Amino acid sequence: MSEHAHDHDHAPITDAQGPAAARRARALEQLLVEKGVLRAEEIRAGIDWLVSRTPADGARLVARAWVDPEFKQRLLADARSAALELGLDPGPSPVVVALENTEAVHHMVVCTLCSCYPRALLGPPPAWYKSLPYRSRAVSDPRGVLAEFGLEIHDDVQLRVFDSTADIRYLVIPRRPPGTDELSEEQLAALVTRDSMIGVAQPAAPALA
Amino acid sequence: MSYRVGEPVTIADRAHRGHHRTPAYLKGKPGRVERVHAAFRNPETRAYGDDGLPRMPLYLVSFARSDLWPGARASGDHRVYVDVFEHWLEEGK
């Protein structure tokens, strides 16, 4: 992580994901097609699906959970089914787990091994999520990382860092911001940022009326 | 062998040549079972074209900061929660 705040995407600064990795990916793609494992159209369709996903779907889940306690219970019990209930595509992961932030507990998500991420519900992960500094420091000094994101977690709040290493995908349900009692579900969803569902930020503050 | 929620476990401290999903920073560390997820295809064989069967049980295991990074200078306390396949777990103390 560099010195400035990461509320935006940019190319990785230190990772070796440059032309060599891109060339390797193209070589693999070519081989898979030549060997008949995949068709070029399938690869294109997969990429199209991936880039068509956005955090708006995850935000709809969170906003519904904020206004409907029973839905929230279903979301916490089985986020995949809850997504399907709202007509959302939870993606290929067999299990999606929602983690609720409260006054007492804060969750954040990382993948130290690679870039596991609930892509179906949040879209492609931001570049910093895949960067070595975030991946290593999120598990060793998460409060320091959060402070760089501008998020101070009080010492009496339990901090839980989820390192998604396998088949499970994790999505954070951030706390509903104060002063939002009058907002509609749609207006609430607009406050739910991508970063708040990774657990490195709070949702946006409501615009003053 | 299977483990229950709340049970103490230790992550096996062994090297593994090739693809596996047990991060190095956990090896040999004590943890606690938080959830029993389900059984999934084994990524260690699936990564090499195998079908990954039999499926291996996957657990959510949590670790104390002080066990993972003793003596490290970090601001405040935290726990780390990681999904670990059963064949990487040993009985804890």
Pairing mode of beta strands B89-91, B8-11:
antiparallel
- In this complex, the residue of B25, B37, B43 whose CB is nearest that of residue A168 is B37
Q: Which are the contacts of B10, defined by CB distance < 8 A and separation ≥ 6? A: B28, B29, B30, B31, B89, B90, B91, B92, B93
User: Do the chains contact at B80 and A161, CB–CB below 8 Å?
Assistant: yes
A31 pLDDT higher than 90: yes
Q: What average pLDDT does the segment B17-22 reach?
A: 93
What domains lie within chain B, and their CATH numbers?
A: 8-91 (2.30.30.50)
| pLDDT number for residue A206 | 87
Q: What integer best gives the mean pLDDT of chain B?
A: 93
Q: What average pLDDT does the segment A37-65 reach?
A: 95
B82 pLDDT higher than 90: yes
Residue A18's pLDDT band (cuts 50, 70, 90): low
Interface mutation vs chain A, best among B59, B80, B87, most A CBs within 10 Å = B80
- Rounded to whole angstroms, the Cα distance separating A146 from A66 reads 24
A13 pLDDT higher than 70: no
Q: What average pLDDT does the segment A23-43 reach?
A: 93
A106-118: per-residue pLDDT in tens?
999 999 999 999 9
Q: What average pLDDT does the segment B13-30 reach?
A: 95
Counting runs of H as helices and runs of E as strands, what totals does chain B give? Answer: 2, 5
| pLDDT number for residue A166 | 87
Q: What integer best gives the mean pLDDT of chain A?
A: 91
A129-169: per-residue pLDDT in tens?
999 999 999 999 999 999 999 999 999 999 999 999 988 99
User: Do the chains contact at A95 and B38, CB–CB below 8 Å?
Assistant: yes
Residue A2's pLDDT band (cuts 50, 70, 90): very low
| pLDDT number for residue A1 | 42
| pLDDT number for residue A23 | 87
Whether B74 and chain A come into contact, CB under 8 Å, resolves to yes
- Rounded to whole angstroms, the Cα distance separating A200 from A197 reads 8
Report domain extents, chain A.
Answer: 17-52, 54-198
Q: What average pLDDT does the segment A74-93 reach?
A: 95
Name the active-site residue from A111, A131, A164, A196.
A111
- In this complex, the residue of B60, B75, B82 whose CB is nearest that of residue A143 is B75
| pLDDT number for residue A6 | 58
CATH number of A54-198: 3.90.330.10, 3.40.1190.10, 3.10.20.740, 3.40.50.150? 3.90.330.10
- Rounded to whole angstroms, the Cα distance separating A47 from A180 reads 37
| pLDDT number for residue A93 | 87
In SS3 terms, A133-180 reads as HHHHHHHHCHHHHHHHCCCCCCCCCEEEEEECCCCEEEEEECCCCCCC
Q: pLDDT higher for B74 or B93?
A: B93
